[in-house]
Amino acid sequence: NIRGSTNAGVDLQCVMHDAGMPDALILTETKRKKPQYMCRDIRTHYSVHNSHTLEGNGGLLMMLHKKYSRVGAVQQRTVPKQCAGYIIHLTLGMPYTATLHMIGVYMPCDGAHLQMRPAVYEALTNMLHAIPATDTAVLAGDWNAALCSGDRLNQVTTVDKQHSNWVNTQAGLQSIYTV
């Protein structure tokens, strides 16, 4: 969660350097009304994909190392219009392997946009059900909810319960923290 991407270029360059050029990066809460321009160093190594809202709240940016676009087909999939800025969906089709679906999520938590959560969950459910069983899906992002009750210092919130209920209704979906 970068809470606005206007000045994120330097931070991204540090991540690229410190993490040894990660294969994929998903940045949430970019707060953009239009696609983010990235500096030449980032564009040299990564294909950059955006999902943003017209209001400039929420927002996602997914960066995929260009070595994948050279050998496979990287495609940004369309998400429901009302979920723009809350979901980004890329597929990576490599020769002789199953397609990888990378889905980035930013779940709103402020009162003005909290009503978007059910639509985002519904869109994610539909996406997951449409993915062939032979493919692999990875969901990552900022859910603005605690999945495990021990993750919260205070009492479990309504959005925590909503998130846990949704995860539990998705066959085959597992948290990397609870496996």
Q: What is the pLDDT of residues 88-144, one digit of tens each?
A: 999 998 778 889 999 999 988 877 678 889 999 999 999 999 999 999 999 999 898
Query: Residue 4: its pLDDT value, please?
Result: 62
Give the pTM: 0.86
User: What DSSP line would sit under 137-168, residue for residue?
Assistant: EEEEEE-SS-SSGGG-SSPPPHHHHHHHHHHH
Cβ neighbours, 10 Å, residue 25:
19
In order of 7, 10, 33, 71, the CA distances from 40 in angstroms are: 15, 12, 21, 22
Cα distances from 153 to residues 2, 34, 150, 161, in angstroms, run 23, 37, 7, 15
